[in-house]
Amino acid sequence: MKLLLSLLVAIPLVACNNQATTAKEAESKSAYKSPGKPSMKVDMDYQISKERVAVGETVDIQFNFKGQVKPSSAKLKTSEQLVLHGDTTIQMQKSGSNSQHKFSVTPMTEGIHLVTVIAEDVQQSHTKPFAIRIVAGDKPIEEYLQQNGQLEIDENGEKIISMPAEER
């Protein structure tokens, strides 16, 4: 009987101690915050000569980087139907902090085209991409956007987009 009584007293004490340990573990886990992926602490300002252009019309783009870190170079990539005039790599000068960099692009088809400027810091092996949108044509932007699926309403009255499967 004494053994049974001592077990009945000991079991709640062990359970309480176990819950306290679990609470401490959860508290210590929530206090840690992951720093995330390492990336450059840089921002980009840019100006384009026109918001909308006609097909075949050249757009001049000026950009500069600002922030804690200045990249050592920038790579330029364009969407398929956008012609880049100039080099795809721009070397940055360390002396000029607010120096403007210029290049030009020409859209060959109507639609929304993207220029990606990738800031690179060779010393730390970090990169950070920025996108610049060029709209060619005079249609509303909604007509140029790609529809990925078909809008449907389910039996509960909620709107869902039915997406086609992509096979690879």
Q: Give the DSSP letter string of 149-161.
A: SEEEE-TTS-EEE
Is residue 64 a part of any domain in this protein?
yes
Q: What pLDDT, on a 0 to 100 scale, did the predictor assign at position 95?
A: 47
Q: Are strands 150-153 and 89-91 parallel, antiparallel or unpaired?
A: unpaired
- What is the C-alpha separation between 69 and 65, in angstroms, rounded? 9
Q: What pLDDT, on a 0 to 100 scale, did the predictor assign at position 115?
A: 94
- The H or E element containing residue 85 is strand 82-85
- Cβ contacts of 115 within 8 Å, gap of 6 or more: 61, 76, 77, 78, 79, 82, 84, 105, 131, 132, 134
Is residue 57 a part of any domain in this protein?
yes
Q: What pLDDT, on a 0 to 100 scale, did the predictor assign at position 167?
A: 78
Is residue 127 a part of any domain in this protein?
yes
Which of 37, 64, 60, 34 lies closest to 49, judged by CA? Answer: 60
- Cβ contacts of 89 within 8 Å, gap of 6 or more: 73, 74, 75, 76
Is residue 28 a part of any domain in this protein?
no
Could you list the residue range(s) of the whole structural domain that residue 73 is in? 42-144
Is residue 80 a part of any domain in this protein?
yes
- What is the C-alpha separation between 70 and 95, in angstroms, rounded? 10
- Residue 73 is part of a domain; what is its CATH number? 2.60.40.1080
- What is the C-alpha separation between 156 and 162, in angstroms, rounded? 15
Is residue 72 a part of any domain in this protein?
yes
- What is the C-alpha separation between 81 and 107, in angstroms, rounded? 6
Number of domains in the chain: 1
Q: Which amino acid is at 80?
A: E
Q: How many residues does the chain have?
A: 168
Under DSSP, the state recorded for 71 is -
Is residue 97 a part of any domain in this protein?
yes
Is residue 164 a part of any domain in this protein?
no
pTM of the predicted structure, to 2 decimals:
0.63
pLDDT in tens, the chain (168 residues): 555 555 555 555 555 555 555 555 555 555 677 677 666 788 889 999 988 999 999 999 999 988 877 888 899 999 999 999 988 988 877 545 567 889 999 999 999 999 999 988 877 678 889 999 999 998 888 887 877 778 888 899 998 888 777 777
